[in-house]
């Protein structure tokens, strides 16, 4: 199997190649595996690695702008990311081993749109948006809306994920994440949960939660939000909300890594643990 590979140095050149139908290649940690196994047939490839316009972690409106080529290692080394996008740094530390972390990018994690992706739920819990650019212009979408199905995104032919925006942290927001896999290192998630919550005057005033490997794509948990926002986070309320979310927001399958029933149970238990910890319920 062979493919034509273009290696542009500017965004404009990359977009021109994409407009002509080329497939974007970032770190290659997903795409090269798919190519080698024949799952994806590559003919024209545009290697983005030298396009520096797609790199960088910078301040934007008190939050962050992260280039699509930001790697897990970049995240782990960034003080700004630690301060403002702690969930994403946590997720980066859970992705594969060091070799993978050096190449795996944010844009590639969204591009593959695996239901078991780890960076995507972190971005969703942070309320992140993604900027898509093409020779025709740019648009910005919530990361949650960029996922349209199993391994499918809203990216159209000729478009590139350019960068991500993580909004400034709301006052009092607490965040947590938990990945459950077969073992601590190099395991694909059986269930992954990321959430952010604000408790004011003993009531939950805001909550965003995302879960992976429990549906065909990474999902937000609207039932959890509806059950908790406006209420005191008592242990009973948390247990009820977690049960309802595991029932109504998830649609897991049986596969070689786990059963659907196990995934629902783990989702529920992880939600209870995270929420109890983050809201101080019962203490």
Return the number of the residue (218 or 223) whose C-beta is nearest ligand FAD. Answer: 218
Q: Which is nearer to ligand FAD, 104 or 246 (CB)?
A: 104
In whole angstroms, how close is the CB of 172 to ligand FAD at the nearest point?
29
Distance, CA of 4 to CA of 166 (rounded, Å): 35
How far the first Cα of the chain sits from its last, in Å, is 60
Nearest to 129 by CA among 151, 104, 99, 161: 161
Interface residues with ligand FAD (CB under 6 A)? Answer: 23-31, 33, 48, 68, 94-96, 100, 103-105, 107-109, 111-112, 117-119, 155, 160-161, 186
**108/233 with CB nearer ligand FAD:** 108
Q: How far is the CB of 223 from ligand FAD (least distance, A)?
A: 24
Of 8 and 96, which CB lies nearer to ligand FAD in the complex structure? 96
Q: Cβ of residue 38: shortest distance to ligand FAD, in angstroms?
A: 15
Query: What's the CA gap between 111 and 153, in Å, rounded?
Result: 7
Q: Which is nearer to ligand FAD, 103 or 139 (CB)?
A: 103
**Alpha carbons 202 and 192: distance in angstroms, whole number:** 27
Please give the full DSSP string across 154-216, using - where no structure is assigned.
SPPTT-EEEEEEEPPPPTT-EEEEEEE-SSSSS---SEEEEEEEEEETTEEEEEEEEEESSSS
Nearer to ligand FAD (CB atom), residue 20 or residue 33: 33
> Nearest approach, Cβ of 263 to ligand FAD (angstroms)?
17
What are residue 105's phi and psi, to 5 degrees? -110, 165
We find the least distance from the C-beta atom of residue 118 to ligand FAD, in angstroms, to be 4
* Residue 200 beta carbon to ligand FAD: minimum distance, rounded to whole angstroms: 33
Q: Are 92 and 75 in contact (CB under 8 A)?
A: yes
54 Cβ contact list (under 8 Å, min separation 6): 11, 48, 67, 68, 69, 107, 160, 162, 163
């Amino acid at each position: 199997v062979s493919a034509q590979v273009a290696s542009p140095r500017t965004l404009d050149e990359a977009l021109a190649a994409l407009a002509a139908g080329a497939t974007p290649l970032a770190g290659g940690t997903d795409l090269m595996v798919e190519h080698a196994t024949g799952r994806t047939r590559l003919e024209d490839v545009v290697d983005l690695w030298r396009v520096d316009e797609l790199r960088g972690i910078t301040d934007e409106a008190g939050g962050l702008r992260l280039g699509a080529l930001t790697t897990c290692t970049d995240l782990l080394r960034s003080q700004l990311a630690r301060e403002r996008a702690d969930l994403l740094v946590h997720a980066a530390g859970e992705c594969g081993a060091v070799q993978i972390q050096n190449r795996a990018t944010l844009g590639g994690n969204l591009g593959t749109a695996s239901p078991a992706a780890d960076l995507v739920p972190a971005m969703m819990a942070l309320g992140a948006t993604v900027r898509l650019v093409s020779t025709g212009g740019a648009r910005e979408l919530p990361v949650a809306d960029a996922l349209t199905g199993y391994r499918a995104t809203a990216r159209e032919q000729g478009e590139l994920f350019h960068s991500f925006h993580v909004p400034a942290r709301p006052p009092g927001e607490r965040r947590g994440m938990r990945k459950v896999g077969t073992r601590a290192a190099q395991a694909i998630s059986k269930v992954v949960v990321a959430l952010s919550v604000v408790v004011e005057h003993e009531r939950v005033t805001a909550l965003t939660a995302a879960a992976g490997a429990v549906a065909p794509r990474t999902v937000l948990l609207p039932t959890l939000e509806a059950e908790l926002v406006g209420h005191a986070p008592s242990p009973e309320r948390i247990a009820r909300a977690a049960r309802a979310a595991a029932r109504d927001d998830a649609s897991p399958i049986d596969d070689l890594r786990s059963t659907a029933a196990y995934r629902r149970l783990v989702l529920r238990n992880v939600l209870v643990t995270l929420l109890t910890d983050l809201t101080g319920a019962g203490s």
